[in-house]
Amino acid sequence: MYAVIYPMEVNRWGLFEFSCKTEIKGNPFTDQFLEGTFTSTHEQKRVAGFYDGEGVFKVRFMPSFAQQYSFVIHFRDEEDSFCSSFKVLSAEMGNHGPVRVANTFHFAYEDGTPYLPIGTTCYVWELQNEVLQKQTLETLKESAFNKIRFCLLPKHYDYNLSEPRSYPYEGTPCDSSVLNSENFNQYTGCATGNDWDFSRFNVEHFQHIEKSILALQKQGIEADLIVMHPYDRWGFSSMTKKQDNLYWNYVLARFSAYRNVWWSLANEYDLMETKSISDWEQYAQLICELDPYGHLRSIHNCGSFYDYSRPWITHCSIQRQDPYKCAEYVDQWRAQFKKPIVLDEIGYEGNIQHGWGNLSGKELTRRFWEAACRGGYGGHGETFFRKDRILWWSHGGCLHGESPDRIKFLKKIMEETSSVGLRFHQMHWDELCCIPDTFSSQNKTIQDKYVFYYGFTRPSFRKYHIDDTTEFVVEVIDTWEMTIENRGTFSGDFTIELPAKEYMAVRLSIV
Amino acid sequence: MYAVIYPMEVNRWGLFEFSCKTEIKGNPFTDQFLEGTFTSTHEQKRVAGFYDGEGVFKVRFMPSFAQQYSFVIHFRDEEDSFCSSFKVLSAEMGNHGPVRVANTFHFAYEDGTPYLPIGTTCYVWELQNEVLQKQTLETLKESAFNKIRFCLLPKHYDYNLSEPRSYPYEGTPCDSSVLNSENFNQYTGCATGNDWDFSRFNVEHFQHIEKSILALQKQGIEADLIVMHPYDRWGFSSMTKKQDNLYWNYVLARFSAYRNVWWSLANEYDLMETKSISDWEQYAQLICELDPYGHLRSIHNCGSFYDYSRPWITHCSIQRQDPYKCAEYVDQWRAQFKKPIVLDEIGYEGNIQHGWGNLSGKELTRRFWEAACRGGYGGHGETFFRKDRILWWSHGGCLHGESPDRIKFLKKIMEETSSVGLRFHQMHWDELCCIPDTFSSQNKTIQDKYVFYYGFTRPSFRKYHIDDTTEFVVEVIDTWEMTIENRGTFSGDFTIELPAKEYMAVRLSIV
pLDDT recorded at residue B462: 97
Q: How are beta strands A382-383 and A349-350 bridged, if at all?
A: parallel
Report the alpha-carbon distance of residue A198 to residue A452 in Å, rounded.
54
pLDDT recorded at residue A442: 59
| Dihedral over alpha carbons B313, B316, B322, B328 (to 10 degrees) | 150
Asked whether the beta carbons of residue B360 and residue A500 sit closer than 8 angstroms, the reply is: no
Residue ranges of chain A with per-residue pLDDT less than 50: none
pLDDT recorded at residue A37: 98
Contact B316, B333 (CB under 8 A): yes
Q: How are beta strands A119-121 and A379-380 bridged, if at all?
A: parallel
Name the DSSP class of A139.
H
Q: Which among B352, B360, B430 is the nearest to A355, CB-wise?
A: B430
Whether the CA torsion A222, A228, A230, A231 is positive or negative: it is positive
Optimal mutation site among B358, B359, B431, interface A, most CBs of chain A within 10 A: B358
pLDDT recorded at residue B153: 98
Contact A432, B323 (CB under 8 A): no
* pLDDT tens digits, one per residue of B172-182: 999 988 888 88
Residue A401, chain B, CB below 8 Å: the answer is no
* pLDDT tens digits, one per residue of B86-133: 999 999 999 999 999 999 999 999 999 999 999 999 999 999 999 999
Which residues in chain A are closer than 8 Å to B350, comparing Cβ atoms?
Answer: 458
Residue A360, chain B, CB below 8 Å: the answer is yes
Asked whether the beta carbons of residue B328 and residue A324 sit closer than 8 angstroms, the reply is: yes
pLDDT recorded at residue A384: 98
B454 CA to chain A: closest CA distance, Å? 8
Optimal mutation site among A158, A325, A351, interface B, most CBs of chain B within 10 A: A351
* pLDDT band at residue B276 using 50, 70 and 90 as cut-offs: very high
Report the alpha-carbon distance of residue B63 to residue B10 in Å, rounded.
8
Q: Which among B355, B385, B458 is the nearest to A360, CB-wise?
A: B458
Contact B227, B264 (CB under 8 A): yes
A363 CA to chain B: closest CA distance, Å? 8
Which chain B residue's Cα is nearest to A432?
B355
Residue B431, chain A, CB below 8 Å: the answer is yes
Contact B165, B154 (CB under 8 A): no
The model's pTM is: 0.95
pLDDT recorded at residue A182: 87
Domain B116-164+203-417 has CATH 3.20.20.80: yes
Asked whether the beta carbons of residue B502 and residue A456 sit closer than 8 angstroms, the reply is: no
Q: Which among B351, B363, B500 is the nearest to A456, CB-wise?
A: B363
Which residues in chain B are closer than 8 Å to A428, comparing Cβ atoms?
Answer: 355
Which residues in chain B are closer than 8 Å to A324, comparing Cβ atoms?
Answer: 324-325, 328
The 10 Å Cβ neighbour count of residue A164 is 19
Asked whether the beta carbons of residue B351 and residue A460 sit closer than 8 angstroms, the reply is: yes
- Architecture field, domain A2-89: Sandwich (2.60)
| Dihedral over alpha carbons A210, A216, A217, A219 (to 10 degrees) | 150
A25 CA to chain B: closest CA distance, Å? 54
What is the three-class DSSP state of B484? Answer: strand
Residue A351, chain B, CB below 8 Å: the answer is yes
Residue B332, chain A, CB below 8 Å: the answer is no
The 10 Å Cβ neighbour count of residue B95 is 18
What is the three-class DSSP state of A454? Answer: coil
Count helices and strands in chain B by DSSP H and E runs: 8, 34
B258 CA to chain A: closest CA distance, Å? 39
Whether the CA torsion B20, B21, B22, B26 is positive or negative: it is positive
User: Which residues touch A157 (CB under 8 Å, ≥6 apart)?
Assistant: A231, A394
pLDDT recorded at residue A439: 66
* pLDDT band at residue B442 using 50, 70 and 90 as cut-offs: low
* pLDDT band at residue B185 using 50, 70 and 90 as cut-offs: confident
Which residues in chain B are closer than 8 Å to A463, comparing Cβ atoms?
Answer: 353
Report the alpha-carbon distance of residue A443 to residue A508 in Å, rounded.
19
The 10 Å Cβ neighbour count of residue A64 is 20
Asked whether the beta carbons of residue A500 and residue B351 sit closer than 8 angstroms, the reply is: yes
Which residues in chain A are closer than 8 Å to B354, comparing Cβ atoms?
Answer: 430, 459
User: How far from A385 is each of A320, A379, A391, CA to CA, in Å?
Assistant: 22, 20, 6
Asked whether residue B417 carries a pLDDT value surpassing 70, the answer given is: yes
Q: Respond yes or no on whether ipTM tops 0.85.
A: yes
Whether the CA torsion A22, A25, A30, A32 is positive or negative: it is negative
Contact B69, B265 (CB under 8 A): no
Residue B159, chain A, CB below 8 Å: the answer is no
Residue A303, chain B, CB below 8 Å: the answer is no
Q: Which among A355, A360, A462 is the nearest to B502, CB-wise?
A: A360
Q: Where are the domains of chain A?
A: 2-89, 99-161+203-417, 425-510
User: How far from A67 is each of A43, A63, B133, B387, CA to CA, in Å?
Assistant: 10, 9, 85, 73
Asked whether the beta carbons of residue A353 and residue B325 sit closer than 8 angstroms, the reply is: no
Contact B396, B132 (CB under 8 A): yes
Asked whether the beta carbons of residue A459 and residue B358 sit closer than 8 angstroms, the reply is: yes
Residue A356, chain B, CB below 8 Å: the answer is yes
Asked whether the beta carbons of residue A359 and residue B457 sit closer than 8 angstroms, the reply is: yes
Asked whether residue B149 carries a pLDDT value surpassing 70, the answer given is: yes
The DSSP line for A232-278 is -SSSGGG--HHHHHHHHHHHHHHHTT-TTEEEEEESSGGG-TT--HH
Helix pair angle (A403-417, A361-373), 10° resolution = 20
Q: How are beta strands B34-39 and B68-75 bridged, if at all?
A: antiparallel
Q: Which among B350, B358, B456 is the nearest to A363, CB-wise?
A: B456
Contact B261, B227 (CB under 8 A): no
Asked whether the beta carbons of residue B430 and residue A351 sit closer than 8 angstroms, the reply is: no
CA-atom Rg of chain B in angstroms? 25
Contact A394, A354 (CB under 8 A): no
Q: How are beta strands B504-510 and B472-478 bridged, if at all?
A: antiparallel
CATH of domain A99-161+203-417: 3.20.20.80
Which chain B residue's Cα is nearest to A497?
B353
Residue A353, chain B, CB below 8 Å: the answer is yes
Which chain A residue's Cα is nearest to B461?
A353
Query: Are B2-89 and B425-510 the same fold in CATH?
Result: yes
pLDDT recorded at residue A440: 62
Which residues in chain A are closer than 8 Å to B323, comparing Cβ atoms?
Answer: 429-430, 457
Q: Which among B325, B360, B430 is the nearest to A456, CB-wise?
A: B360
Optimal mutation site among A456, A464, A502, interface B, most CBs of chain B within 10 A: A456
Name the DSSP class of B157.
B
Which chain B residue's Cα is nearest to A303?
B429
Among residues B470, B488, B479, B416, which one has the least CA distance to residue B452? B479
Burial (CB < 10 A; 0-12, 13-18, 19+), residue A83, is: exposed
Name the DSSP class of B92.
P
Q: Which among B360, B430, B502 is the nearest to A354, CB-wise?
A: B430
Contact A339, A107 (CB under 8 A): no
- Give the domain A425-510 fold: Immunoglobulin-like (2.60.40)
Report the alpha-carbon distance of residue B365 to residue B455 in Å, rounded.
10
Q: Which among B324, B385, B428 is the nearest to A325, CB-wise?
A: B324
B392 CA to chain A: closest CA distance, Å? 17
pLDDT recorded at residue A392: 98
